[in-house]
Structure 1
Amino acid sequence: MTAELKTEVEFSKVIRERHSVRKYDPSWKISDEEIKEILGEAILAPSSSNLQPWRFIVITDQELKQQLLPIAYNQQQVVDASVTIAVIGDIEAYRNAEKIYEYAEAAGYVTAEIGAAMAKRSKDGYSAMPVQKLKEIALVDGGLVSMQLMLAAKARGYDTVPMGGFIPDKLRELFSISERYEPVMLISLGKAAAEGRSTARLPLEEVTRWNGFEG
């Protein structure tokens, strides 16, 4: 079955109804166009110096999902959900700074002179950072875009589950991912076959301090 739920609801409801769902209707197929729409909203997320290090591998082919299954410790949602998306981070995203500012210039957001200066600042600054720091940035930005992806999906009536449980080296091997890219997470997305389990949250006062921190 291929269809579009297109159920857009208010943000407050979206964030309260989003739960991690692990059981999906395997007959439900999301169109490529709607997947692109969800990803298009996801990439509006913020990133360090707007370098947008996120990259996505969109996995809809069932045979490929089966190959991914043992890499993801046999989590059944990998094959049952309409799509599983591998989110990876480019630790050399600074190499795209000039291209990004060319787009910004074309959109009228910056002048050519300012864009060139900002691109140079990004390239010089980030290229001098240790690899470990670049990985940390890619993971943080990858987390931001992943959360936005899950909320965009929920706003359309779909469900998701983020997965950190996978074997990075095997994922690299399956998709020929070079060392330039750092795997962030897998996200299964589709039509729920069973509701996600509600979970408790620590009270706000237990996780929040005002104007200082002790601990």
Structure 2
Amino acid sequence: MATNLEKKDTDLFTVIRERQSIRSYDPNWQISEQEIKEMIGEAVFAPSSSNLQPWRFLVIQDPALKEKLLPIANNQKMVVEASATIVLLGDTEAYKQADKIYKSAIEAGLPEEYVPRVKEIYSKLSPEAIRGIALVDGGLVAMQLMLVAKARGYDTVPMGGFSAEKLIEEFNIPANYVPVMLIPVGKAAAPGFPKTRLTVDEVTFWNQIK
């Protein structure tokens, strides 16, 4: 059983260009729990709104739970073939941990009055606004996680094709957690589709939208 792939000595720009969305994985390739923890530990250096870090990670490695996830993910085989599928969630009550989050920042010089102000602002936001923040911050950490995985020689695919309602029900997801996406991670069994992109000129406006 393959495991412990060595980190690649690869620069950021190469990682960005080589990362693909992989839809077929070697089911015999296993990534250790320790290395998954390391990858998440690197990913969470991503920025977040007010540094509240609302991302939460449910790592599915158990074969029986992968099978349970399969119909929720519209029977997309990646979730059972990959070494693990990371269920990325956004905590809509992350602001309640502001004291814990800001403790070290205050010790480093952050004004103490910043904490109650943040908690007050977030506690008054609408559920839709809070959800939107959790989804945006989830996207930031997801991209960082996929780049971290690629830098270590692994492959991923961001998945939005799943039933959030069934996921919440079958995996007993707390009400304050918003499903963001599924991210299978493992070793590719086949390459992804050729990567093509619109040109910069096609997607960029300067000073005004024409």
- Is TM-score (shorter-chain normalized) higher than 0.5? yes
Identity value in percent = 57
Q: Which residue in 1 is equivalent to 2:3?
A: 3
Letter of the structure 1 residue corresponding to residue 89 of structure 2: I
- Within 5 Å, give how 1:28-39 maps onto structure 2: 28-39=29-40
Structure 1 residue 200 corresponds to structure 2 residue 196: yes
- Answer whether contact 1:26 1:82 (CA < 8 A) is retained: yes
Contact 1:7 1:156 in 2 (8 A): yes
Q: CA deviation at 1:37?
A: 0.9
- Determine if contact 1:2/1:31 at 8 Å carries over to the other structure: no
Q: Residue 2 of structure 1: CA displacement?
A: 4.3
Listed as ranges, the matches of 1:19-34 within 5 Å are: 19-34=20-35
Partner of 1:109: 108
Bigger shift: residues 143-152 or 174-183: 174-183
TM-score computed with the length of structure 1 as normaliser: 0.94
Q: Which runs of 5+ in 1 are unaligned?
A: none
Q: Please give the residue correspondences for 1:1-215 in structure 2 after superposition, counting only pairs within 5 Å.
A: 1-5=1-5, 6-105=7-106, 108-110=107-109, 114=111, 116-214=112-210
Indicate if the aligned counterparts of 1:86 and 1:185 stay in contact, CA closer than 8 A: yes
Q: Where does structure 1 differ by over 2 angstroms across 4 or more consecutive aligned residues?
A: 108-111
1:56 is paired with a residue of what secondary structure?
Answer: strand
Question: Secondary structure, in 3 states, of the residue corresponding to 2:178?
Answer: strand
AA of the residue aligned to 1:190: G
- Counterparts of 2:61 and 2:9, CA distance in 1: 24
Q: Is the 8 A contact 1:94 1:123 kept in 2?
A: yes
Shift in Å at residue 104 of structure 1?
A: 2.6
Superposition CA RMSD, Å: 1.1
Deviation string for 1:22-74 (max 9, x for gaps)?
Answer: 11010010011110111011100000000000000001101000000000000
SS of residue in 1 equivalent to 2:102:
helix
Cα shift readout 1:70-122 (whole Å, capped 9, x = no counterpart): 000001010000000000001111101111011334xx4235xx2x3111111
Which 5+ residue runs of structure 2 have no aligned equivalent?
Answer: none
Between 1:168-177 and 1:182-191, the stretch displaced more is 168-177
For the residue of structure 2 that corresponds to 1:173, the secondary structure is helix
